[in-house]
């Protein structure tokens, strides 16, 4: 994937203004932000140990970002996907995202 991408699941984090403020103050370098609200799974420390790397895509829950004081320096995806493989498959299909609240992702339908 080219560029930086952040997909934030906002459903467990009811105060979206506070979340947006938090993301804005920790977003270095800037990421494209895609807000969704579909529910997420909670990630435990074992997930973080395996998937966290500044050079790769990783994912978590919006509340985890607060808890772990994440600085968004790599491609970060907050998602409800159950496995990293599913998540990466989803991420590869999203080739355009707006940073506004009204998001219309462009899905790559080529095989």
Q: How many CB atoms within 10 Å of residue 33?
A: 23
21 or 27: which leads in pLDDT = 21
How big, in percent rounded to 5, are the helix, strand and coil portions of the chain?
30, 20, 50
Q: Using CA atoms, how far apart are residues 19 and 92, in angstroms rounded to an integer?
A: 25
Q: How many domains does the chain have?
A: 1
> DSSP secondary structure string, 27-50?
-SS--EEEEE-S--PPP-HHHHHH
* pLDDT of 15 over the 60 cut: no
* pLDDT of 108 over the 60 cut: no
Query: Which residue range(s) make up the domain with 98?
Result: 5-107
Task: Give the tens place of pLDDT for each residue, 34-70.
Answer: 555 444 343 444 444 444 444 444 444 445 555 555 4
CB 4 within 8 A of CB 75: yes
């Amino acid at each position: 994937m080219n560029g930086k991408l952040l997909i934030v699941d906002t459903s467990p984090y009811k105060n979206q203004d506070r979340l947006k403020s938090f993301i804005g103050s920790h977003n270095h370098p800037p990421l494209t932000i895609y807000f969704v609200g579909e529910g997420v799974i909670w990630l435990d420390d074992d997930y973080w140990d395996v998937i966290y790397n500044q050079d790769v895509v990783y994912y978590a829950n919006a509340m985890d970002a607060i808890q772990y004081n994440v600085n968004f320096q790599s491609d970060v995806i907050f998602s409800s996907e159950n496995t990293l493989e599913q998540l990466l498959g989803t991420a590869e299909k999203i080739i355009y995202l707006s940073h506004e609240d009204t998001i219309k992702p462009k899905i790559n339908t080529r095989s």
